[in-house]
């Protein structure tokens, strides 16, 4: 029994990772991560469209994506992944440390931002923390006053310009908005899943993401906050 419990615990601790970068960078990433007993590489690709397709197919815990991917950029791929699979943590790899590149990663919804020349230990630590739900990209923002001001300015527009701007800058993906709007109508997770033709577990995953994004504790608080911001319609008359 003890051995079975240990095996189950080890399986739960394994982080499933997708890699998307140039062929040369992939070689280095594989060398680092294949040496880690609790990291499983579920896919390794070298273009943005394949990164998106393989992330949707394999649903990794963490997707490590090169910002310089083509034909769609790593940041664009990250945005779409965060929209469709909000429970997947995204780590953006970049060849430079410019503020504009970091700002683009923040807007894409990345949980972490690393230079391609980072140490192996930093990469592994980032994967573990992102898998745990942390947005460690915020730590880089705090060390750059000019970038912090830029981020704050963008979010300040949301409150200054009211509901119209709030809809543009809503942190919720379209699917999350649908789910929260359905919950505002009084539907259960099971009813929402049936209405949207998705699994109940997918609804739960989206709700976890919604609560985290809005920094609230329960569904009711999420609905009230989203209604005040104009992100959902609320109860139908």
| Start-to-end Cα distance in the chain | 55
Question: In this model, does residue 192 exceed pLDDT 80?
Answer: yes
Domain containing 74: what range? 2-145
- The answer to whether position 52 is within a domain reads yes
CATH of the domain at 206: 1.10.10.10
Q: Scanning the structure block, which residue is given the tokens 């109860």?
A: 235
Q: Which of 101, 104, 95, 62 is nearest to 81 (CA)?
A: 62
φ, ψ for residue 115 (rounded to 5)?
A: -75, 145
Looking at the structure, tell me whether residues 39 and 119 fall in a common domain.
yes
Strand order in the sheet with 112-115: 39-45, 15-20, 62-66, 89-94, 112-115
151 pLDDT tier (thresholds 50, 70, 90): low
9 pLDDT tier (thresholds 50, 70, 90): very low
Q: Of the given ranges (35-49, 133-147, 177-191), which has the lowest mean pLDDT?
A: 133-147
The 10s digit of each residue's pLDDT in 84-129 is 888 899 999 998 878 788 888 888 888 899 999 999 999 999 999 9
Looking at the structure, tell me whether residues 106 and 204 fall in a common domain.
no
SS3 state at 32: helix
Looking at the structure, tell me whether residues 13 and 64 fall in a common domain.
yes
Residue 50 C-beta-side C-alpha neighbours within 13 Å: 13
pTM of the model: 0.62
- The answer to whether position 111 is within a domain reads yes
Looking at the structure, tell me whether residues 26 and 121 fall in a common domain.
yes
12 pLDDT tier (thresholds 50, 70, 90): low
Looking at the structure, tell me whether residues 20 and 136 fall in a common domain.
yes
Domain count across the chain? 2
């Amino acid at each position: 029994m003890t051995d079975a419990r240990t095996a189950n615990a080890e399986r739960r601790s394994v982080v499933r990772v997708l890699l998307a970068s140039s062929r040369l960078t992939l070689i280095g990433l594989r060398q680092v991560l294949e040496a880690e007993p609790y990291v499983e590489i579920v896919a390794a690709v070298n273009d943005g469209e394949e990164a998106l397709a393989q992330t949707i197919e394999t649903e990794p815990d963490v997707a490590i994506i090169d910002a310089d991917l083509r034909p769609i950029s790593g940041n664009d791929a990250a945005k779409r992944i965060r929209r469709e699979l909000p429970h997947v943590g995204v780590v953006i790899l970049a060849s430079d440390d410019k503020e504009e590149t970091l700002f683009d990663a923040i807007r894409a919804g990345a949980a972490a931002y690393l230079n391609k020349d980072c140490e192996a230990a930093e990469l592994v630590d980032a994967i573990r923390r992102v898998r745990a739900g942390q947005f460690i990209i915020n730590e880089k923002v705090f060390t750059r006053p000019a970038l912090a001001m830029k981020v704050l300015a963008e979010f300040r527009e949301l409150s200054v310009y009211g509901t119209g701007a709030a809809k543009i800058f809503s942190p919720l993906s379209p699917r999350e908005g649908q789910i929260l709007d359905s919950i505002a109508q009084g539907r259960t997770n099971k009813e929402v899943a049936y209405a949207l033709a998705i699994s109940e577990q997918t609804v739960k995953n989206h709700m976890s993401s919604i609560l985290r994004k809005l920094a609230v504790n329960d569904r009711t608080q999420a609905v009230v906050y989203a209604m005040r911001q104009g992100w959902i319609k609320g109860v139908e008359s």
